[in-house]
A and B are shown apart, each in its own frame.
Chain A
Amino acid sequence: MTSPNRLTLISFSHRNATLAERDALAMSAADIAALVPLCRQRWLSEAAVLSTCNRTEIYLYGPTPRTLWEELAPEVARLRGMELAALPAPMIAFDDAAARHAFRVAASLESLALGENQILAQVKDVHDQVLANPAKSPVLDRLFQFAIRVGKQVRTETALCEGAVSISSAAVDLASKIFGDFNQREIVLVGAGETAEAAAMHFEKSGGTRFVVLNRSEERGRLLADQFKGTYRPLEELEDAIVSAEVAVFATGSPDYLLTHAALKSVMKARKRRPLFLIDISNPRNVDPEVARFDSVFLYNIDDLEHVVAANLATRKDEIPAAEAIIEQMLDQWRAWQQSMAVTPTIASLARYFEDVCTQEIDRHNKRISEQERVMLEEFSRGLVKKLLHNPISYLRTSVANNTLRSEDLNLVLSLYNLQNNDENPDEP
C-alpha cells in the first residue's frame, strides 16, 4: 500500500545534538549531492538539506514511510563516516509542524543567537539547491519560497533582528549613535589580539576605513594594521594617536591603565573637546574610569557593553510573539496553497479528459468535413467543454478556498470519468 505524500523533517540542532555531534553531522555540498538523489530514488521524495554550523536538517516531500529515519539513518551515517550508534536522536516533524519549523528557522527563532541574520542567507542557499536540482521539487521549492518570505517579513516588520548582540557589534552600534558614519573617522586599535581584530572587522563592515594600530609587539601590530589597510604606531604614542581619533578600542592584556585622567586632559585640550568614544574591552581594564568625567568622552567597558547586549537580547525576545504571528499567517497561506495543489491536478486531468474526447470525436469525422468545418467544430467543442466544466471546477476551487473540500468529492470526480486510471499521480486531498 502506498503512503500518502507528506512533508517530513528530520532535524539535528543545538536543541537535540551536542556541538561535537553537530560538527560530525554537518554535510558538505558533495554529501548533499549524494543524499538528495538517493531520497528521490528510494522514497520517490523531493529532498533538500539545510546544513549550517549549528544545524543539519533534511526536508522530504513524498510518500515517505513512518519508519523513514530507521531506513535513512544508515545512509546518513555512511555519508558522514559515523557509527550508526553515534547518531543522536533527531527531531522528526510532519506536514504543518515541519513547515512551521522551516519558517521558524528562516525567521531566526530557532537560532542559537536569537535574531541572527545569517540563517536567512543559508535558507536561500537551500532554495537555490532545490532549484538547481535537475529533478523538479515543486513542493519544497514552494516551501522554501514561503520560508524566505517569512524571514524577510520578520526582519522588516519586527525588531527581532535589531540591536547588537555581541560585544564588538554593540560597540560599533554605540559609536554609530555618536558619529553617524565612520567614513573618514579615525579608529585607534590598542592591542593586536583576536578581540581587537574582531572589533576592527565590525568597524570595517560598518564603513570604517582609517585604522591606526598601537601595540607593544611591532610585528603583530603591523600584521593587524596591514590586514585593515591601516598604520602602525608604537604604544608609547598612544596620547598623540588619540588626539586625531574619534574611536579608540582598548584590547590588551596590560595589567595597568594605559590611559589615565591626567594624560587624557592634555589630549582633550589638543582635540578641542571633540567627542571621543573609548571602548575598553580589556580585562583588567586599560582605561581609567575617571576619564568618563570629561564632557565629551564616552567610555564603555566590557561590563557596560554586556549590559547593552543583554538589553538588546531582551528586546529581541519581546518581538517573538510578533514574529510567531507572521509565521502563523504564512502557515495559513501554505495550507491554502497545499490544498489548491490537491485539486489542481484533478482539474487539469478533467480538462484533459474532455479535450481528448472532443479531439477523438472530431478526428472520427475528419474525412467527412472540410478544413473550415473542422476549425468551426473545434471552436464549438472548446466553448462547450468550457461551459460544461465551469460548475465542477468552480465547486472544487470554492471548496478549497472555503476549506470545505472533502476527499469524497475528489474521489467522486475521479471515479465519474475514470481519471484514476488515466492519471499516473492522483493526488491526496
Chain B
Amino acid sequence: MLQVFQLIEIALPLAYLAIFALYVRRFVARKDRGDQRFWGSPLLYGTLGTHALYLALRGVELNHFPVSSKGEFLSLLALAIGLIYALTERRHGEPNTGAFFVGLAAVAQTWSSLIIDPNTAHPLLHEHPIYGVHVIFILSGFVSLAISAIYALMYVLLARQLKSRELGALFRRLPPLNTLENMSRLATLAGIVLLGLGLFSGHFVAIYVLDDFSLLDPKIVITYVAWAAYAVAFIWAKLRKLSGLRMGYLSLGGYLALIASMVLVNTFFSSFHTFQ
C-alpha cells in the first residue's frame, strides 16, 4: 500500500499542475470560448476525489488522521482549497477564477509530496476520530474564509476598475461583480458553518481527551469571537440585503482582522493548542 501512496504522491502534484495550466489557459485566452467544453473542471473534480480517497486510505493504513506531519497537513490544505473552490465553481458555473485557487492547491500539494514521510511518529491524540474531524473542519473553515476574502479582493479590484473607467485585463478576465459577490458570500457561509462545526467538535475532543482544557484559552476565545463576529456580520448583511463595494471591503477587512488576531494569539500566548 505504501508504494501506491508514493505513486499517488507523485501523481497528485502533476495532476494539479496540469489542471492549473488548463485554468490559466482559460483565464488568459484572448477569447471567451463559452460554447466549448472546459475540461479543467471535470479533471479537477476527479483529482479531488482521488486526493480525498488517498488521504482516507492513508489514515486507515497508518492508523492516524493525516494531520500528523507538515506533509500531511499541506496535503489536507491542498484538498480543502480544491474542494471549497470546486463548490463555489459548481454553484455559480464560473471557472474563470480557478487559476488562482488551483494554483494554490498545486503549490501546497507539490510541497507536501516533496516532504511527506510515511514513518511519522504521532501522538495518541491523532488517532482519536473526533480530533481528525475537528482539524478537518477548522482547516476547511479557515480555507473557506480565505477564499471568500480572495473573491472580495477581486470584487474590489474590478469595481475600482469600473469606477475609474480604466478597463484593463481584470475587466476582460474576471466574472461579473454580482457573481464575485455571490461566490464570496457562499465561501463565507461555508467558512462559518465549517468553522462552527470545527469549534464544537474541538470542544468534544478537549473535554474528553485533555486534562487541562480551559474555555479561557486565548486561542479558543479569539476563535470564538472571530467566528461569532463573522456569523453576526453575515446574518446582518443578509437580512439587510447589503451588497456592493462596502461589503467587499468589510469581507476583506474581516478576514485580515481574523488572521491578525490569530497571529497575535500564537505569538504572545502559549497554550495547549498547537499542531505538534
Contact = CB atoms under 8 A, between A and B. Distances in A.
Nearest to B245: A295
B37 interface: no
A300 B161 CA distance: 13
Given A156-B33, A158-B30, A296-B244, A178 B165 contact: no
Contacts of B243: 272-275, 296
A157 interface: yes
Most buried by A among B162, B171, B179: B162
Given A179-B176, A275-B177, A295 B246 contact: yes
A322 B30 CA distance: 11
B90 interface: no
A158 B240 CA distance: 44
A273 B167 contact: no
A159 B30 contact: yes
Interface in B175-200: 175-179
Given A159-B31, A174-B162, A178-B177, A296 B167 contact: no
A33 interface: no
B165 A273 contact: no
A346 B158 CA distance: 64
A300 B165 contact: yes
Interface in A177-236: 177-180
Interface in B221-276: 240-246
Interface string A357-383: 000000000000000000000000000
A296 B246 contact: yes
B240 A272 contact: yes
A97 B11 CA distance: 53
A172 B222 CA distance: 46
A296 B160 CA distance: 10
Interface stretch (A9-17, A76-84, A303-311): A303-311
Contacts of A158: 30-31
A156 B171 CA distance: 20
Interface residues of B, number: 23
Contacts of B245: 275, 295-296
Interface string B146-169: 000000000000110011010100
A174 B165 CA distance: 10
Contact of B167 (A178, A180, A308): A308
B162 A298 contact: yes
A311 B242 contact: no
Contacts of B158: 177
A180 B92 CA distance: 11
A38 B254 CA distance: 78
B237 to A, nearest CB: 10
A162 interface: yes
Contacts of B244: 273-275, 295-296
Given A177-B162, A178-B162, A162 B167 contact: no
A176 B176 contact: yes
A272 B179 CA distance: 19
Nearest to A276: B244
Interface string B66-95: 000000000000000000000000000000
B252 to A, nearest CB: 14
A307 B246 contact: no
B92 to A, nearest CB: 9
Contacts of B167: 308, 311
B88 to A, nearest CB: 15
Nearest to B164: A292
A272 B242 contact: yes
Contacts of A273: 242-244, 246
Contacts of A179: 176-178
Nearest to B162: A298
Contacts of A319: 30
B163 A298 contact: yes
A176 B178 CA distance: 9
Contacts of A157: 31
A270 B130 CA distance: 48
B233 to A, nearest CB: 15
Given A157-B31, A295-B244, A177 B176 contact: yes
A272 B167 CA distance: 26
B182 to A, nearest CB: 9
A307 B176 contact: no
A319 B167 CA distance: 18
B177 A177 contact: yes
Contacts of B175: 180
Interface of B: 30-33, 158-159, 162-163, 165, 167, 171, 175-179, 240-246
Interface of A: 156-159, 162, 174, 176-180, 272-275, 292, 295-296, 298, 300, 304, 307-308, 311, 319
10 contacts: A158-B31, A162-B31, A177-B176, A274-B241, A274-B244, A275-B245, A298-B162, A304-B165, A308-B165, A319-B30
